[in-house]
Structure 1
Amino acid sequence: MFEKANKPLIIITLILLMLVIVPIILIPNSVVSFLSLLYKFITTDLAWFFLLLGFAMAVGAIVLLTTKYGDIRLGGKNAKPHYKTFTWIAMNLCSALAAGVLIFGMCEWMYYVNGTPFGIKPGSIEAYEYASAYGMFHWGFSAWAFYLITGVALGYLYWNKKIGTLQVSKLCANVLAGDELWRKGLRWFIDAVLVFCYFMAIMTTVGIGTPVLGELASDLLGVPNTFGMKIGVIIIFGIFFTLSTSKSISNGMARISDFNVWLAIGFFVFVLLVGDTAFILNNITMAIGTNIREFVRMSFNTDAVAATGFVQGWTIFYWAWYVAITFMCGIWIARTSYGRTLREIAVSNCIWAVLACWLTFGILGNYGMGQELFHGANFSGTLGKLGNNGVTLEVLKTMPLAKICIFVFLILLFFNLASTVTANSTSLSMYTSVKLKADEEPNPWYKTFWCLLFLIIPVGILLLEHNVEGLNVLQTIQSMITISSLPVLVVLVVLGISFGKALKEDIKTGEILESIDDNKQNKWK
């Protein structure tokens, strides 16, 4: 199982994990206080940096979509894709979307109606209009650009420069190579930080998703949603995704992703038809228009004067979240995108994925908004009491065939979580392996080992919720993932320098032509 494992890296990761879990168990209140202080510093004092970074990523995505750099093919001009296009897009979608887009797609607008941007009066018509648009912005073009830029940089270094590992410290050898103490230290720092941030990303994904699973399951079974019930949901979920991860990518992740996408399409069509269809479509159209009109304002809004906390609590959190998980998603994109041009990857991530998110927010969110505006529901008013878990269930209960809808949404959420965790554990097992061939997957038992470790994080979150009275779980998760983004910023800088250096050298020597289809090489001569 551990023959090709990077054992020192595993040991460092376990130590870091214990440094998080032990304080959660022994001094939970102190942990929450510390997280709140550090979170406030990052989201307030560094807001400008995260916003500029997000806009820069969006500009980079536009460059890949519209210039000759999009013609570069991962693996070289003769490389053929490993997966069918639909399956490839579905895997990339499901590896990054997880439960978040389903849960927030249904209830994020409620937060924005109560806590509005730009000083808009809460509960006003304008508040509802911006509530529809802002969720699309947070899950839109800039968000997916984070994953795209990291993925193509990793993919080019891995496939085209033929570096036989996905470890960033080795992919960036043109910057980090050398025996100087600072270089050695930076190499270990990079790998340890990225592995640790994998766990933080899983914490966010599973920490947000499993409580909703528990709420839905308890309603269907007619039993209280107790602490034991929540632990049981995590165990069942863990068994499933462990079995999925033990398969190869094509047999495990690919099948889950295909099924997940088709089930989501069917459910969304049903919700669109049984809801206020005209209102949903009209509000989607208006929200898209608002995003186009307000994109620059939203991208640079630091809320410095009004200081409402909206930007810090949402936009900065999201951008920090995307930074924290960008290598997790980037490694997956790099690994599965062999034979694809950078433009194809950009279209997959910044067109198809964005449309998927917008449809999710547009249909699920506007269904609930329609129920509140026209049918007497008060979801935004009960959000503070019920939280994400309870309000998601309440929205589903308003649908025709409510029990069936709850069951379908539970299955959809379950498989969405499973596909993301499967992708993460596969990527992590690859990252912490040595001497893997380009088309080789890690030992199934080694992937299972990481799956079991992943279960520690959601259990730790449940312990915090159980032991700290009145704890805001969402805010705690936001704090932890935001804090974990800081060291990743250092790694992003190193990757950017390494990728830029490699690309510049290949263009200078003409080696870049080996990655460009023959009929497009005239642009590079």
Structure 2
Amino acid sequence: MKHSIRKEDNNVFYISLIITFIVVIWGIFDPGGFANVTNSIFEFLVTKFGWFYLLSMFIFVIFAIGIAFSKYGRIKLGSDDSKPEYSNISWFAMLFSAGMGIGLVFWGVAEPLNHFINPQGLEGGSPVAANFAMKTSFFHWGLHPWSNYSILALALAYFQFRKNRPGLVSSVFIPLLGENASKGIIGHSIDVLAVVATVAGVATSLGLGTLQINSGLNYLFGLPTTTIVQIIIITTVTILFMLSAVTGLDRGIKILSNTNLMIAIVLLVLAIILGPTVKIFKSFTSGLGAYLNEFIKKSLEIRPYRSNQWLGDWTIFYWAWWIAWAPFVGTFIARISRGRRIKEFLLGVTVVPSLGSFVWFATFGTLGIDLGPKIAQKAIKTTETAFFVVMNHYPLGNVISFVAVILLCTFFVTSADSATFVLGMMSSNGGLDPTTRRKLIWGIIQSLLALSLMLAGGLKTLQIASIAAAFPFAVVMVIACFSLLKALRNDEFIKKLKNK
């Protein structure tokens, strides 16, 4: 038995490594060709299957809400007497750090300002554009991405802790494919795809995080934006998350995530106090109202007879990106959620972090928009520096920027640490505690991938490649909904309810 498990480990592990190295070599030595192929594939997917991305993400939201408030919401992710492993604060801090993290700091100012200056079908820089900017940012970072994560996370947690199956994406399909779902070609293909999508997605975020940290240090201390500085940053962060990975989930990631949450709250409170406080609260209220009012319309809005360029560049790009991240974030959230009831789990993974994102964008988006179109245009010229350009116009702006750089570093370390943990699980037959050696191997690989493609100018290309490669995951996740529903219907707890 031990021999067969080790062999399966190595199948997924080695195939994933080979594919990753092929992508790296191609991206470094033929960046032009790599970019052309990935862009063509992505353009085809956006043009021909944009409707499918929109429909899939809407289904995930409806499914998550429906399951939460159904009789299945009472089922526990584990035995009926199991208790949650982590406190609500630590649990939320970990899932938020893994699920959004660097993205919030990177886009918190930049996205609202982009929509403010270049709104869809509106006059840029106008009050109407400001309202559009807020509700659109809420839409892109609200219930859709978190519902997308929750679907896979719920299915994985249910089969791991309720049914004692391996922590692999392929395990979710046991009700449809039978007990050997994880061992066949289909199961192996799903698990390899999950590993490759995770490596590419995390490497992209690490690269973008490095660029923004470098930009922040340049803005604050005049540190040059050079290759050598970026190598030093990514090497330092790699050493830090390796140390964290070695200490394990309960110490390294948990402590770092709690630290992230505290720093993020400090940053948020500082920004609200020093910024246009009343306008921030008005933006939050107005944005939330517009978000809820237009939720269904925006979820399914695609123009059959006109150009969908804006939609492809923003909404569909985001939906594809969140789906590409689902294997990583879903696996990690599942791992830390043993003992929670399904209703508590789903509301905790969807509603709570969505509200956190709304407050974040209302705060930092308003800080940017309130400075007017001229500053906004200057800020969005370079996405990495948008945050620092805006903060420079407020009292104690340097203090806020410095706190933001620290938060970027801690989010950076936590994301990479969580990813090495998840990659270790995925390539170790779903083992809940992967070996330090395997985590270190993946940690080094994802840092090298980020660094090499950053230097080759291929980060954006890698992001598009990971999104294109993860397209089958949209299909996988829709099927996962049916598989999970079939398993829940046959759950012992539900059978007992029926008998009563």
Query: Is residue 428 of structure 1 aligned with residue 428 of structure 2?
Result: no
Contact 1:207 1:477 in 2 (8 A): no
Which whole-Å CA distance do the structure 2 matches of 1:478 and 1:136 have between them? 22
Query: Is residue 141 of structure 1 aligned with residue 143 of structure 2?
Result: yes
Shift, 1:382, TM fit: 4.8
Distance 1:11 1:34, change over 3 A: same
Distance 1:61 1:435, change over 3 A: closer
Equivalent residue number for residue 175 of structure 1: 176
Equivalent residue number for residue 167 of structure 2: 166
Matches within 5 A, 1:359-398: 359-372=359-372, 378-384=375-381, 387-398=382-393
Equivalent residue number for residue 329 of structure 1: 329
TM-score (structure 1 length as normaliser): 0.89
Which whole-Å CA distance do the structure 1 matches of 2:437 and 2:470 have between them? 30
Equivalent residue number for residue 501 of structure 1: 486
Query: Is residue 461 of structure 1 aligned with residue 453 of structure 2?
Result: yes
Query: Is residue 491 of structure 1 aligned with residue 472 of structure 2?
Result: no
Which letter does structure 1 place at the counterpart of 2:434? Answer: P
Identity level (%) = 26
Shift, 1:15, TM fit: 1.0
Instruction: State the SS of the aligned residue for 1:46.
Output: helix
Of 399, 405, 409, which aligns to 2:394?
399
Residues 483-508 of structure 1: CA deviation (Å, up to 9, x unaligned): 022132343245334323322333xx
Distance 1:490 1:298, change over 3 A: closer
Of 43, 47, 65, which aligns to 2:46?
43
Distance 1:268 1:504, change over 3 A: same
Shift, 1:325, TM fit: 1.3
Which whole-Å CA distance do the structure 1 matches of 2:393 and 2:71 have between them? 50
Which letter does structure 2 place at the counterpart of 1:484? Answer: A
What runs of 5+ residues in structure 1 fail to find an aligned partner? 515-520
Distance 1:404 1:179, change over 3 A: closer
Query: Is residue 266 of structure 1 aligned with residue 266 of structure 2?
Result: yes
Residues 191-214 of structure 1: CA deviation (Å, up to 9, x unaligned): 111110111220332232221011
Which whole-Å CA distance do the structure 1 matches of 2:172 and 2:227 have between them? 44
Equivalent residue number for residue 117 of structure 2: 114
Which whole-Å CA distance do the structure 1 matches of 2:266 and 2:397 have between them? 16
Shift, 1:172, TM fit: 2.7
Contact 1:280 1:370 in 2 (8 A): no
Matches within 5 A, 1:94-493: 94-117=97-120, 119-163=121-165, 165-177=166-178, 184-372=184-372, 378-384=375-381, 387-434=382-429, 436=431, 441-465=433-457, 474=460, 476-493=461-478
Instruction: State the SS of the aligned residue for 2:80.
Output: coil
Query: Is residue 60 of structure 1 aligned with residue 63 of structure 2?
Result: yes
Distance 1:58 1:496, change over 3 A: closer
Q: What do you get for the CA RMSD once the two structures are aligned?
A: 2.4
Which whole-Å CA distance do the structure 1 matches of 2:87 and 2:51 have between them? 40
TM-score (structure 2 length as normaliser): 0.93
Equivalent residue number for residue 512 of structure 1: 493
Which whole-Å CA distance do the structure 2 matches of 1:13 and 1:56 have between them? 30
Shift, 1:76, TM fit: 2.2
Distance 1:80 1:382, change over 3 A: closer
Which deviates more from structure 2 when the two are superposed, residues 202-211 or residues 11-20?
202-211
Which letter does structure 1 place at the counterpart of 2:173? Answer: C
Distance 1:59 1:434, change over 3 A: closer
Which whole-Å CA distance do the structure 2 matches of 1:404 and 1:198 have between them? 34
Which whole-Å CA distance do the structure 2 matches of 1:179 and 1:340 have between them? 27
Which whole-Å CA distance do the structure 1 matches of 2:289 and 2:462 have between them? 32
